[in-house]
Amino acid sequence: MTGPINSYEPIAGPFVWTGPEMTQRDDWIHELSAAEVAEIDAAVYAVQARGLEIMAIRQADFSLPTLGPVMARIRHDLVDGCGVTLMRGLPVDRWSREQSAIAFWGLGAHLGDAVSQNPDGHLLGHVKDIGGDFNAMNARAGYQSRARLPFHTDLGADLVGLMCLQPAKSGGLSSVTSAMAIHNAMLDRRPDLLRLLTEPIHRDRRGEYIEGKAPTYEAPVFCYHAGYMTVTFVRRFVESAPRHDGVPAVTPELVEAMDLLEELAESDALRLDMDFQAGDIQWINNLITFHSRTDFEDWPDPEQRRHLLRLWLNLPNGWPLPPSYYERFGSADDDGRPQGMHMPGVTLSAPLDVA
């Protein structure tokens, strides 16, 4: 990062961008060439020929002689650049579900290591409407609904990847906003509200408990740590935290601060929209980017319904993270990075469809 990251001053760097600016450039979009698709095909077939399970695939198992350096550049852009990449042109229409999953996982293995996305231990997730309740108190079911998802970050991951197998009949627009741009805008408009969001805030675990941990924990939205700034934000987890004993009510000032954050994230001046098409992959740096989704209308045929695959990736040797990240889920034993939602006693898996 460049610019002050340990004081209430504007942040500067490639991760500070606006939606209108991004639409005028294409360095964050990678259109796969026919040769690159053929290389991915070959890697998928090689994995299948060896009989490897998806969870066993590592970077060395998914050989990409020419696309590999491109993935290394994408990783750099995600970690130390704008934090957003869109890949286009994967042939999911001719691949089986397993082949699509292998391709997605294999590309992800060139960026980081998959971690569990839910208490069931799923390393390969599915964003699909199965009638989930966005407002459920003891689950995160928004991604299993067709509801609009307000701007937020995911939990327990450095990077988040979404691969579109099938778009909705209408709607389901994916939007992202630079958290650093929001930080600077709040600093300029209401530094008092920004300061509130840099202080520890109670968060509800929503039933996703870890043995020995309280049902809530505390974390700031904007966290200055070791020369970096990272963000975590799911508004409804803040709003429901006071249902637990000993947690104070959300103050009107904090409500005003969250309102301003969401207003800025949703504004035409900052927001970047993406209309997913089959074969697209969106990669974002979850530590510096807020994302959302509009509601959508689905197809009546179950086989045509909107379906995205999802990966949560941690990054060995990634940015130093504040203690609040580890308070939420702990860390992986091998690399010390956040381990997602790997609950004690739960066997990890990579299902090919939503349960």
Separation CA 104–CA 86 (nearest Å):
13
pLDDT of the residue at 118 = 87
Exposure pattern of 197-230 as b/e (b: 16+ CB <10 Å)?
Answer: beeebbbbbbebebeeeebbbebbbbbbbeebbb
pLDDT of the residue at 115 = 93
pLDDT of the residue at 328 = 76
Q: Mean per-residue pLDDT for 138-145?
A: 52
Token pair recorded at residue 214: 């309280």
Instruction: Return the higher-pLDDT residue of 186 and 325.
Output: 186
pLDDT exceeds cutoff 60 at 22: yes
pLDDT of the residue at 341 = 79
pLDDT of the residue at 302 = 78
Separation CA 188–CA 305 (nearest Å):
43
* CA contacts within 13 A on the Cβ side of 76: 7
Q: Mean per-residue pLDDT for 88-110?
A: 98
pLDDT interval class at 3 (50, 70, 90):
very low
End-to-end CA distance of the chain: 41
Residue owning tokens 């098409």 = 277
Calculate the alpha carbon distances from 308 to 56, 279, 354 in Å: 21, 10, 10
Please name which of 122, 128, 125 lies closest in space to residue 166, comparing C-alpha atoms.
Answer: 128
Separation CA 4–CA 251 (nearest Å):
29
Instruction: Return the higher-pLDDT residue of 172 and 142.
Output: 172
Phi, psi (deg, nearest 5) at residue 230: -125, 165
CA dihedral 50, 51, 55, 61 (to 10 degrees): 10
**Domains assigned to the chain:** 19-329 (3.60.130.10)
DSSP for 334-347, written as a single string: TT-SB-BT--TTPP
Calculate the alpha carbon distances from 265 to 104, 184, 190, 245, 272 in Å: 28, 12, 15, 32, 9
Q: Mean per-residue pLDDT for 47-56?
A: 98
Residues 157-189 have pLDDT tens digits of 899 999 999 987 766 789 999 999 999 999 999
pLDDT of the residue at 159 = 96
Contact 163, 336 (CB under 8 A): no
pLDDT exceeds cutoff 80 at 127: yes
pLDDT interval class at 299 (50, 70, 90):
low
pLDDT of the residue at 171 = 62
Positive or negative, the CA dihedral 296, 299, 300, 305 is negative
pLDDT interval class at 8 (50, 70, 90):
confident
Angle (nearest 5°) at CA 28 between 116 and 45:
55
Residues of the chain with pLDDT > 90, as a percent, come to: 70
pLDDT of the residue at 4 = 45
pLDDT exceeds cutoff 80 at 73: yes
